Structure 1
């Protein structure tokens, strides 16, 4: 198995509402099949898929999918000044800020939010891992 993640699928209650949340943050969806929304990223795609349909695909009950699973998604930015405005945009779009922007023990600057379905995102400036010109992240930087 090659070392990569191709597609991240988020189970959501309402695909249209969740897509509107991410679009309010400036993301642009790709054309695709009805009932599924895809946002192309740098080298991956983030997909929004109906929660009930994903449970059916997995062969589990819908209530078996849910809650904080210990997974967060990281969105790194170039400067610490970019963190707080993103959290403000999240709140304006209906998301919930879990941790306001602030310094963290390892020398970075972070904040956390939950999207409309409770998926947890970290917005971070890591001065030890500068982004590429395109915005790609790599541990240790480019």
Structure 2
């Protein structure tokens, strides 16, 4: 189980400085690691890496191709309330994110919305009343409170 974790997410971006400013506005903290081609930002239990898009393609030995608007993947930030989801969604949009779907009550009983960062990476902002977050705001589905029913 120790290998079943994500410790770092790398996003290919067209402007590293702009992307760093965007994520710092959302609360990510820039570290001293990195260089002029990559910036590392610390979050709660995860590091976000911002890498030039062409450099990332080169590093993976893949050709750089046009990116579709929907890439078949989202990143998600779960929050403790609908109000917190609204707050972070608004902050992301004010910082240069593109609103895709405003936060709203959804079919599965929660509350969520989507924005794209300045490079089109899709983020879900959600409040899931069925998933309790710990005191640090982390999601641990193996240690959820038991339903008394």
TM-score, normalised relative to structure 1? 0.92
Asked if 1:58 corresponds to 2:57, the answer is: no
After superposition, the CA RMSD in angstroms is: 1.6
| 8 Å CA contact retained: 2:20, 2:39 | yes
1:16: which partner in 2? 17
Aligned pairs, number: 141
Which residue pairs with 1:3 in the alignment?
A: 4
The yes-or-no answer on 1:92 pairing with 2:94 is: yes
Please point out which of 96, 101, 106 is paired with 2:108: 106
Q: Distance in 2 between matches of 1:110 and 1:86?
A: 11
Match of 1:37 in 2: 39
Segments of structure 2 that go 5 or more residues without pairing to the other structure are none
8 Å Cα contact 2:85-2:125 kept in structure 1: yes
Q: 1:83 deviation in Å?
A: 1.2
Q: Which runs of 5+ in 1 are unaligned?
A: none
Q: Which has the larger radius of gyration?
A: 2
